[in-house]
Chains A and B, each alone.
Chain A
Amino acid sequence: MSLQGKVALVTGASRGIGAAIAEALAAEGAKVIGTATSEAGAAAIGERLAAQGGVGMVLNVGEEGAIEALVDTIAKEYGDIAILVNNAGITRDGLLMRMKDEDWDAIMDTNLKSVFKASKAVLRGMMKARWGRIVNIASVVGAMGNAGQANYAAAKAGIMGFTKSMAREVGSRNITVNCVAPGFIDTDMTRALPEAQREMLVQKIALGRLGDAKDIADAVGFLASDRAAYITGQTLHVNGGMLMP
């Protein structure tokens, strides 16, 4: 129970990788607040985490002032956030030739700007505590590119650059900032891909299978713990050997 008593915020925790991360941190003893975009989603998170004292809350990361308000509410009710996992993300895939400005902007707002806003909002509490862990969920696509995902890849690569800069800024306060870059994980997001594309992807994965959400959650749990105290500004690739950067 290495995270006993620590308050952790996981965005986009209603399903897939975010849900697995929330459960992993709760299993280590953290007080986990998981967010969803809907009331029903938040309630479901609350039920899943209830045994470990976790709660679900509504957050639409693109909504003006929403992240700041949520961080305030959490601080008042449970104490300052010690662990932030920026996981919330969406896709708006399409070939560049046909990509609309709205598709680009939606990805930048939800996948990249939200990381900036949430990280900034939790920083005051972490600086005071002289302890903090921020883990940003990037993607293998941010490192290798992917046809049809120029917007997504740009946002995910942006997260990696943001992570390195922030790690340099706040390292002296014992706050670490890292990325976990999932490869192709078996979630709703990748289930949306055509079967033929999935099969082709698997052939490029050294371990010969898609990843499990728990594979990502374990990496996040490690980076959030004291065992990773001397790791900052890094991107941990969890992709079954699909990319070896």
Chain B
Amino acid sequence: MENIEQRVKKIVAEQLGVNEAEVKIESSFVDDLGADSLDTVELVMALEEEFECEIPDEEAEKITTVQQAIDFVNAHLNK
């Protein structure tokens, strides 16, 4: 089983159509990886599916970097 960081990075790369090597832990979806607003919505949907969780809108808005996505998943899965 891949760890959470690897799974998140893989999803980000797939959704945003970038090379996985470009996806750094500090990468911002919009500023560094060229995501538009619809991309970020799709990304959150993909994360929800991968980790079988629901990300409420107010939480989703705060997820703007790879690190924040990982943090959310970690916090959620620990519950």
A100: Cβ under 8 A from any B Cβ: no
Q: Which residues from 37 to 61 on chain B have a C-beta closer than 8 Å to any C-beta of chain A?
A: 38, 42, 45
The 7 closest A-B pairs by CB, nearest first: A127-B42, A124-B45, A172-B38, A169-B38, A173-B38, A170-B38, A172-B36
Q: Is the interface of A mostly helix, strand, loop or mixed?
A: helix
CA distance A172 to B39 in the complex (A): 10
7 example contacts (A-B, Cβ-Cβ < 8 A) are as follows A124-B45, A127-B42, A169-B38, A170-B38, A172-B36, A172-B38, A173-B38
Residues of B within 8 A of A (CB): 36, 38, 42, 45
Interface size class of A (residues with CB under 8 A): under 10
Q: Is the interface of B mostly helix, strand, loop or mixed?
A: helix
Q: Which residues from 169 to 190 on chain A have a C-beta closer than 8 Å to any C-beta of chain B?
A: 169-170, 172-173
Q: Which residues from 92 to 134 on chain A have a C-beta closer than 8 Å to any C-beta of chain B?
A: 124, 127
Looking across the interface, which residue of chain A has its beta carbon closest to that of B46? Answer: A128
CA distance A134 to B38 in the complex (A): 18
Looking across the interface, which residue of chain A has its beta carbon closest to that of B36? Answer: A172
Looking across the interface, which residue of chain B has its beta carbon closest to that of A124? Answer: B45
| Residues of B close to A170: CB separation below 8 A | 38
| Residues of B close to A127: CB separation below 8 A | 42
**Shortest distance between the CB of A134 and any CB in chain B (Å):** 16
